[in-house]
Structure 1
């Protein structure tokens, strides 16, 4: 069988394999880094928008609290009206904290796409190892062809 000079033999391909695995790992690391940065930027912009909204809501809620206390002060003493409004605000704050914690837990910036690709790469490597031919044993007196020589099996 005549082999073209630009085709790599089995030994040459096997010699390239560690370098290619390292290159693949570096590329996947860069992909994971870019994915995490993109998700973190989106989360940061979203958090900034929420902070601005909360700034304005704070003053609006302050006005509503004063109005609620004034309305309840028409039927109750002012101290009781203020106490009831404060208890309601405490309940709302507790609900907001619980909701915020739940949202933060769901927003974990895990690079899922990169992890899926790496998992596929690892299973492909596992399939290569499982489907590999048994090793060829060297017999004394029989020389194996060198990389690039005729007779190099592929």
Structure 2
């Protein structure tokens, strides 16, 4: 528990309560604008990284798709040695559809679990500011 000995005595600055409230209001307003600028800068940085990563993943997807086509053609040719061509092609198609269904289900589950993008530093900073303001208001 704190006592009056824990805090320095108030200074007499000669300013009225109205002036002090006005200054506090201006400081809080300035602080909130700074926090919003921080959040905006943080989200812009995350957006740039997301865009670059998405572009690279898209390029990898294109090359992976072409490679998958080559693997499918190779599998059909190999199975054609044992089965008729139509059956080999059908078997490869069914396997590819099953893999696609499994990937889609897992992907959908991951997207559902994803948390929304948030400016974490700005949120933490605002919480710290609010706690500091509450603490000072109690004094």
Q: TM-score range by the shorter chain?
A: 0.7 to 0.9
Q: Is residue 108 from structure 1 mapped to residue 116 from structure 2 by the alignment?
A: yes
Match of 1:117 in 2: 125
1:110 counterpart SS class: coil
Offset at residue 60 of structure 1 (A): 1.5
Alignment partner for residue 53 of structure 2, among 15, 24, 46?
Answer: 46
**Going by fraction, where is helix more abundant, 1 or 2?**
2
Q: How does the TM-score come out when normalised to structure 1?
A: 0.70
RMSD between aligned residues: 2.4
1:76 counterpart SS class: coil
Larger Cα Rg: Structure 1 or Structure 2? 1
Offset at residue 17 of structure 1 (A): 0.6
Match of 2:6 in 1: none
Q: 1 or 2 for the larger relative contact order (CA 8 Å, sep ≥6)?
A: 1
Q: Relative to structure 1, is the Cα distance of residues 8 and 81 closer, same or farther in structure 2, using a 3 angstrom cutoff?
A: farther
Kindly tell me the number of residue pairs found equivalent between the two proteins: 127
Alignment partner for residue 42 of structure 2, among 35, 56, 70?
Answer: 35
Question: For 1:121-149, what per-residue CA distance to the aligned partner results, in whole angstroms no more than 9, with x for missing partners?
Answer: 111222223x24xxxxxxxxxxxxxxxxx
Alignment partner for residue 31 of structure 2, among 3, 16, 24?
Answer: 24
**d(CA) in 1 for partners of 2:111 and 2:136?**
42
Q: Which runs of 5+ in 2 are unaligned?
A: 1-10
Match of 1:70 in 2: 77
